[in-house]
Amino acid sequence: MTRVRRRFWVFATALMLPCMWSVRASAQGPPSPSIPSPSIPPPQPFAPATQPPADPSELPPVFLTPDALRRRAQQASSTPSSTPAQPLQGPIARPIPAPRPFNLPGPLFDQPPFLTLPMDPPMGYSGPSPVLSLETQQSSHFIPVEDRWRIGYPAWDRYGKGHPINDDYPYMFGRVVDPFNLNSYKGDFPIWGQHTFLDVTALSSLDFEGRELPTQTSGFESTSRPFSGNSFGRPNSFFTLDFFSMSFDLFHGDGAFKPVDWRIKLTPTLGVSNFSFSELAQTSPNVNQGTVRTREVWALQEAFAELKLADFGPDYDFLSIRMGNQPFNADFRGFLFSDINRAVRLFGTAESGRDQFNLAFFRQWEKDTNTGLNTFNDRGQNLIFANIYRQDFLFPGYTAQLSLNYDNDPASIKYDKNRFLVRPDPVGNFQPHTVNVGYFGWAGDGHWGRYNLTHQFYWAFGTDSMNPLANRPQTINAQMAAIEGSYDRDWVRYRLSFFYASGDGNVNGTHATGFDTILDQPNFAGGQFSFWNRQQIGLQGVNLTQRLSLVPDLRSSKIQGQANFVNPGLILPTFGMDFDLTPRLKLITNYNLVWFDKTSVLQQFLFQGNIQQFVGADIGYGLEYRPRVSENVVFTGGVQMLIPGQGFLDIYNNFDSRIGSLVAGFVSTVFQY
């Protein structure tokens, strides 16, 4: 009997062992993953019966009630993980939300939380993320990041030096005051949603200039040297012209390639001018005002809204409209019109961006006399510009332009802020008159290998109801032509150019053939480094030349006067060389020879029998230095000299003295953030 009982228990034990192993395995759960759960420790095997009962919080999930499972889930979500996710480094504001500890429904199927790793910060200063995360993590393989602009980049110590400041690294983390790397305040990251950007720009432009110019006196009562009978006094003068502006550009788009859907831009500007002369009656007709004048003026230079009206196909061709104070340049080099003023403009592209077009209507604001900034007074002048550009015309790299422009400048009387008459010109009969003139233009700009070519032609046609110099109505028929060729050889560019503006040969006729512009600012024949181009040379109440203009138009003011097509015209060949001495430093040299096209207008205007055509030789040198190899900080300086020719001497020589060479120098600085 005892032997039979022993055999029975051995047999029963053999039958129960597989069942006991299966229950033990089910109690332990499936094998743990290669990376343990960061929040809940793996369950422990069953304790022997001889040990005291286990704590309910330590029991495997299969032995817990649903209420106990819920309590454990809440406790696990509030308990710090053994390997917590690292907080986001850098300027991103909102971290990825922590994953739920249990995701599968039902108390018997809950799982440990998903794996999370530290997030790399984005490059630059990204600012707070404006995108609200709507998705949660569903797997240990992926973490949803809805803000596609602020995806991080891993740290990379390229040279193993610990990221020193002066070394170049591909992934640079930024600061709020860093304008060189990515920054949310210069349009690199959206400030709202995925497509709305803000570009904030602070600009300071400081210009200091000393010059020698023929300075006219008006007799004994207005000269600083009593009983001096000369028509032109001491030539020395000095001025500063400073601008401080903040630009706020809010736009909606993709940040690159695709034109913006809409844009709003504001640029409030402070202008400060200071002029110091060696003669009286230069700052004001009232000689009691002295020889120094300082003025400050606030202006809203740019203030426009832009809206894209249509898209033409998948190649980003578009049609947009822009309304408000906006910049516009009528041609490649600013020969006819270059200004910021009130306008409505339609513009866009076609043929995958190969064709570009503009149709703009300007209603000009009056300009401030001393700074050239816009005021809120209506000038009454109407301008229309229509042009089309064709890229890769005839050969790749060359862009052609056709334009048709119109200037309607009605009759008015205007004294500037310094009490000088500027409309009409204070010469001849100075009666108010209306100028209606159209301009047909053909231009090109491009290169063929190392050879560069720029050319411009304008034909002016229209009427002047009563020209002050001619003292009668005029039919306008005038031309202008300019061409520049240059060749790049290593770090040197050689330039040859020629400029022609037709002159009027018969001031008593009814046809005005002297070419004049609307509001030009040409970057040609040396530009700001040319004495003839940069300086405003006065003559008997008007100016022989305007500041930053080539045409000798005998006009009272470029910014406030009316176009005058009874003028001597100009012939100006140029030779120049530009040297890139270093990536930061550039040297500009320029040599001009200047002739009047015709001088009969000057002879009658000055009651002088014979005036030669040769004006003189214009020599200019300039340096441009960019210490950060960018446009954020730019120092520019130049020295120019005009060696007078016989024509200039005929106009400006005094009774008892001969005018000598005229010298001017300037230094300008631009700080931009």
**Where does residue 391 fall: left (phi above 0), alpha (psi -120 to 50 degrees), or beta otherwise?**
beta
Rounded Cα gap, residues 644 and 662, in angstroms: 8
pLDDT at position 168, please?
Answer: 66
Ranges of residues in the chain with a pLDDT under 50 are 1-2, 4, 7-8, 10-11, 14-66, 69, 73, 77, 79-110, 220
pLDDT per residue as tens digits for the range 350-361? 999 999 999 999
**Where does residue 142 fall: left (phi above 0), alpha (psi -120 to 50 degrees), or beta otherwise?**
beta
pLDDT at position 24, please?
Answer: 39
Closest CA relative to residue 427, chosen from 190, 625, 654, 606: 606
Closest CA relative to residue 318, chosen from 352, 273, 369: 352
- The answer for residues whose C-beta is within 8 angstroms of residue 564's C-beta and 6 or more apart is 425, 467, 468, 469, 514, 516, 553, 554, 555
pLDDT at position 221, please?
Answer: 54
Is residue 550 within 8 Å of residue 568, measured between CB atoms?
Answer: no
Q: Which two tokens stand for residue 133?
A: 């995360």
pLDDT at position 67, please?
Answer: 53
For the entire predicted model, the pTM comes to 0.80
Rounded Cα gap, residues 177 and 632, in angstroms: 13
pLDDT at position 225, please?
Answer: 59
Q: Which two tokens stand for residue 279?
A: 């003669």
Is residue 345 within 8 Å of residue 325, measured between CB atoms?
Answer: no
pLDDT at position 658, please?
Answer: 81
For the chain, which domains are there? Answer: 70-194 (no CATH), 196-672 (2.40.160.100)
Rounded Cα gap, residues 356 and 353, in angstroms: 7
pLDDT at position 134, please?
Answer: 79
pLDDT at position 257, please?
Answer: 77
H helices present in 256-344, as ranges: none
Is residue 483 within 8 Å of residue 531, measured between CB atoms?
Answer: no
- 68 DSSP assignment: H
Stated length of the chain = 673
pLDDT at position 218, please?
Answer: 62
Closest CA relative to residue 131, chosen from 118, 116, 149, 117: 149
Helix or strand or coil: residue 556?
coil
Q: Which two tokens stand for residue 220?
A: 């004994």
pLDDT per residue as tens digits for the range 144-155? 888 888 888 777
Is residue 225 within 8 Å of residue 233, measured between CB atoms?
Answer: yes
* Partner residues linked to 537 by β-bridges: 545
Is residue 78 within 8 Å of residue 101, measured between CB atoms?
Answer: no
